[in-house]
Amino acid sequence: MTILGGSLTLSFAPFNYWFIVFISLPCAFIILTSIKDKIFTSAWFFGLGYFSVGLSWVHVSIADFGGVPLIGSIGLMFLLCGYLALYPALLFYLLNRFFNVLLWPLAIAFIWLVMEWLRARMFTGFPWLSIGYSQTSSPLATYYPLIGEIGLSALIVLACMSLAVGIKLKKRMLAATPIIVMFVCAFSLSGFEWTKPNGVTKTTALVQGNIPQSLRWDPEQDEITKEKYIALTEPFWNHDIIVWPEAAVPSLEVMTLEYIKALDEKATETNTGIITGVVNYNARTEIIYNSLLALGIDEQKNSFPYHLNHEKRFSKHHLLPIGEFVPFENLLRPLAPIFDLPMSSFSRGDYIQPNLLVKDTALVPAICFEIAFPKQISANIYSHSDAIVTVSNDAWFGNSHGPHQHLQIAQVRASEFGLPVIRATNNGVTALIDHKGNIQAQAPQFVETVLSSEMKLVTGITPYYRFGDAPIYVFAFTLFVSALLLRRKNNLI
Q: For 101-118, how does the pLDDT look when each residue is reduced to its tens digit (9 = 90+)? A: 999 999 999 999 999 999
For residues 116 and 166, membership in a common domain is answered with: yes
C-beta pairs of 80-84 under 8 Å, 24+ apart in sequence: 80/51, 80/55, 81/47, 81/48, 81/51, 81/52, 81/55, 82/44, 82/48, 84/47, 84/51, 84/55, 84/119, 84/126
For residues 33 and 172, membership in a common domain is answered with: yes
For residues 285 and 329, membership in a common domain is answered with: yes
Question: Is 246 among the residues known to form the active site?
Answer: yes
For residues 178 and 234, membership in a common domain is answered with: no
For residues 170 and 253, membership in a common domain is answered with: no
For residues 239 and 362, membership in a common domain is answered with: yes
Confidence at residue 332, expressed as pLDDT on a 0 to 100 scale:
44
Determine the Cα–Cα distance for residues 371 and 298; give it in Å rounded to an integer: 25
Confidence at residue 492, expressed as pLDDT on a 0 to 100 scale:
58
Angle subtended by helix axes 104-119 and 144-169, to nearest 10: 130
For residues 330 and 398, membership in a common domain is answered with: yes
For residues 184 and 201, membership in a common domain is answered with: no
State the total domains in the chain: 2
Determine the Cα–Cα distance for residues 202 and 243; give it in Å rounded to an integer: 13
Confidence at residue 82, expressed as pLDDT on a 0 to 100 scale:
93
For residues 141 and 258, membership in a common domain is answered with: no
Confidence at residue 175, expressed as pLDDT on a 0 to 100 scale:
80
Question: Is 185 among the residues known to form the active site?
Answer: no
For residues 303 and 176, membership in a common domain is answered with: no
For residues 364 and 432, membership in a common domain is answered with: yes
Supply the range of the domain harboring residue 266: 196-461
Query: Three-class SS of residue 302?
Result: strand
Question: Is 27 among the residues known to form the active site?
Answer: no
C-alpha of 168 from chain center: 36
- Residue 423: name the closest of 241, 156, 225 by CA: 241
∠ CA 241-242-244 to the nearest 5 degrees?
Answer: 145
Determine the Cα–Cα distance for residues 354 and 329; give it in Å rounded to an integer: 31
What would the pLDDT profile of 235-291 be if each residue is shown by its tens digit? 999 899 999 999 899 888 888 999 999 999 999 999 999 999 999 887 677 788 899
CATH code of the domain covering residue 367: 3.60.110.10
Q: What are phi and psi of 208, to 5 degrees?
A: -115, 105
Burial of 107 (0-12, 13-18, 19+ CB in 10 A): buried
Confidence at residue 271, expressed as pLDDT on a 0 to 100 scale:
92
Catalytic residue among 316, 370, 416, 436: 316
Residue ranges of the chain with pLDDT lower than 70?
61-69, 72, 173-174, 214, 216-217, 283, 298-304, 321-345, 490-493
Catalytic residue among 246, 324, 370, 416: 246
Catalytic residue among 81, 226, 368, 370: 368
Specify whether the CB–CB gap between 197 and 458 falls below 8 A: yes
For residues 342 and 484, membership in a common domain is answered with: no
Specify whether the CB–CB gap between 225 and 261 falls below 8 A: no
Which residues neighbour 372 within 8 Å (Cβ) at sequence distance 6 or greater?
127, 128, 409
